Chain A
């Protein structure tokens, strides 16, 4: 029998930088947060271990739980709008862009991708101005086509504000699914397409029957990126509606709820313990979502080797 192979130190050495940096910046704070959520202040303002009491407050106390479920519900709607609008539109744009007959494809590709690299602050501010009932160009443009009656101060109405913000976010980020799908479409070998054409599969049915199955893994990745991104979202709501996520908390998502609780707002003092509890709840929600994807969906996706 051959001699036992020497321990391969170089593997550990090469892995070390990533492991150390990632642990220090992500893993340690994550466990710090989870740990903090198990503590709270007692009557004498000293920090004591309270077990799951903070979670009991969050889900049991009607005020906390109303705010939490409201934020979670809003967050789900935010996610649903992205899944129903951003990703299909992204796929559609990618399909159009990959068509060899389209002129100026590079221009469109860049133009659609540019908002993605803009800051949330700029996007929030610009859209607030566009939609402003006082100075905005939206009422004027609707007026030009005779549809002024359709205009409403969308960001100020409880029933529209969240959807409006979700669509603004879609506008900003539609470039990401577009680029990923575009890359996936380009990687489909010409032979496969040619073979399909030989068999008479062209146009729309070619996209559905040949290309779509081949880009499904990319769509899966995009879905999970959207999910994680949406449930961690905060910036856009904060810059356009403030930490109180008006009107009447109709745009409050988990991120803004966490911010208000953890850092406090105006006269409300920050509560790091309940804040950490919300952050932990967010972590578990995202964890469950990602696990569902990894175990229930990704393992069933078929991959094709060319």
Chain B
């Protein structure tokens, strides 16, 4: 009898608790953010969301990320099923454009905060004619190389500016033998394409000029500007660690932060992680140019934005949040909480992190461009971006020649992309 009573008391307490707390916050609206940035969970929870919630009582925000590789697939399924969150983190270009065309994310052209962004910043989240913008730009990432400054000092290596100096430095590190010259693997494939081909490539195809010519059909992937980066990548093979074929992305990160490798072909998103992991001084240099004094081009890739689920149950609150995301206040919070994600906001943000500063300063001296495969060219089958992953990994492993790889990519692109079809 006693146990029954105790059980009944326990049960009623358990049942009542959520009811009571539910009643207390009945007026609160909860917004959920879908994202692939699971690395940023603590920053959203500890810095960004509290700042917003403090200024907007009655709105609660939950950051619900999924693994980067699965994000697109999971998001599409959730949107189709109607179970996606109110705020959708937008991939650049076609993935988000498709969502907009299907009516799954809303037109945000009318947001006041949109005035804070340049046309280039918005271009990744607009319809082809630029009439509608459907995501609030958050940040871009810059490619380059991060190096172990202590190792460079120890071996007496100057930061390389030209390609010849770059390979001379690699040779010197290799001859010394203390460090693996460069930390990269081909197991995950995307490193080879993103941190390899798209990193060094803009110097060869002259940034926007080459990228736009490729879209217009006046250049081909078999042209020198597009094959030459593959030739350079093929030379990287000798400077990577033993067994790089099976080396994964986390392996490469760890090799570098443990101080076992001297140079890391990087994206600026690594900065935050490297700052906490690495116990040595780090520096960064942009992709080396062919000859001293050449114009340098960098990949300053519009990478992340935030949109609104068209089926959101709380459109007003969601828009309020998006206005805040487009504000200079958010830009300052975000860029400093996440050094390496550079704000796209027109208001310049004062960066605190020294390594991030080294990256962002290239914007002043070099011509920025975005990744060549992202706009329009990855619309068909075969998908140019995915093929580039495969081709870059093959070229570095030495299983496909740069010329063969370029020809395969060009044939694939020409098979569906009208301006590139053989005339």
Query: Which residues in A have some Cβ–Cβ distance to B below 8 Å?
Result: 63, 128, 131-135, 139, 152-158, 241-244, 246-249, 259, 263-271
Residue of A nearest to B183 (CB): A134
- Are B245's CB and A242's CB within 8 A? no
- CA gap between A266 and B186 in the complex, in Å: 17
* A152 proximity list for chain B (CB < 8 A): 243
**How far is the CB of A220 from the nearest CB of chain B, in Å?**
37
Question: Given A267-B385, A268-B386, A269-B95, do A243 and B248 touch, yes or no (CB 8 Å)?
Answer: no
- Are B77's CB and A247's CB within 8 A? no
* B144 proximity list for chain A (CB < 8 A): none
- CA gap between A247 and B98 in the complex, in Å: 30
* A263 proximity list for chain B (CB < 8 A): 72-73, 76-77
The one of B188, B242, B373, B394 that contacts A248, using a Cβ cutoff of 8 Å: B394
* A267 proximity list for chain B (CB < 8 A): 91, 93-95, 373-374, 378, 383-386
Query: Which residues in B have some Cβ–Cβ distance to A below 8 Å?
Result: 69, 72-73, 76-77, 91, 93-95, 98, 185-190, 241-248, 251, 254-255, 373-374, 378, 381-386, 389-390, 393-394, 397, 399-400, 412, 415
- CA gap between A100 and B27 in the complex, in Å: 71
- CA gap between A249 and B397 in the complex, in Å: 14
A-B contact pairs, 5 of them (CB 8 A): A133-B241, A156-B247, A247-B393, A267-B384, A270-B76
- CA gap between A264 and B397 in the complex, in Å: 26
The one of B69, B394, B397, B412 that contacts A243, using a Cβ cutoff of 8 Å: B69
Residue of A nearest to B415 (CB): A63
The one of B69, B98, B382 that contacts A269, using a Cβ cutoff of 8 Å: B98
- Are B383's CB and A268's CB within 8 A? yes
Residue of B nearest to A155 (CB): B246
- CA gap between A247 and B245 in the complex, in Å: 8
- Are B389's CB and A244's CB within 8 A? yes
* A244 proximity list for chain B (CB < 8 A): 189, 386, 389-390
Residue of A nearest to B371 (CB): A267
- CA gap between A244 and B383 in the complex, in Å: 12
Question: Given A247-B186, A270-B73, do A134 and B241 touch, yes or no (CB 8 Å)?
Answer: yes
- Are A266's CB and B385's CB within 8 A? yes
Identify the 6 closest CB pairs spanning chains A and B, nearest first. A133-B243, A156-B245, A156-B246, A153-B246, A153-B243, A263-B73
- Are A264's CB and B73's CB within 8 A? yes
The one of A156, A247, A249 that contacts B243, using a Cβ cutoff of 8 Å: A156
- CA gap between A249 and B385 in the complex, in Å: 15
- Are A135's CB and B251's CB within 8 A? yes
* B415 proximity list for chain A (CB < 8 A): 63
- CA gap between A79 and B73 in the complex, in Å: 28
Question: Given A133-B246, A156-B187, A264-B72, do A63 and B412 touch, yes or no (CB 8 Å)?
Answer: yes
- CA gap between A90 and B243 in the complex, in Å: 33
- Are B248's CB and A128's CB within 8 A? yes
Question: Given A266-B385, A269-B94, do A249 and B245 touch, yes or no (CB 8 Å)?
Answer: no
- Are B246's CB and A266's CB within 8 A? no
* B248 proximity list for chain A (CB < 8 A): 128
Residue of B nearest to A131 (CB): B246
- Are B187's CB and A246's CB within 8 A? yes
- CA gap between A161 and B243 in the complex, in Å: 13
Residue of B nearest to A62 (CB): B415
The one of A134, A139, A153, A247 that contacts B255, using a Cβ cutoff of 8 Å: A134
* A264 proximity list for chain B (CB < 8 A): 72-73, 76
- CA gap between A249 and B255 in the complex, in Å: 26
* A153 proximity list for chain B (CB < 8 A): 242-247
* A139 proximity list for chain B (CB < 8 A): 243
- CA gap between A247 and B415 in the complex, in Å: 24
The one of A132, A248, A265 that contacts B386, using a Cβ cutoff of 8 Å: A265
**How far is the CB of B310 from the nearest CB of chain A, in Å?**
17
- CA gap between A265 and B247 in the complex, in Å: 21
Residue of A nearest to B388 (CB): A267
* A243 proximity list for chain B (CB < 8 A): 69
* B394 proximity list for chain A (CB < 8 A): 247-248
* B189 proximity list for chain A (CB < 8 A): 242, 244, 246-247
Residue of A nearest to B76 (CB): A270
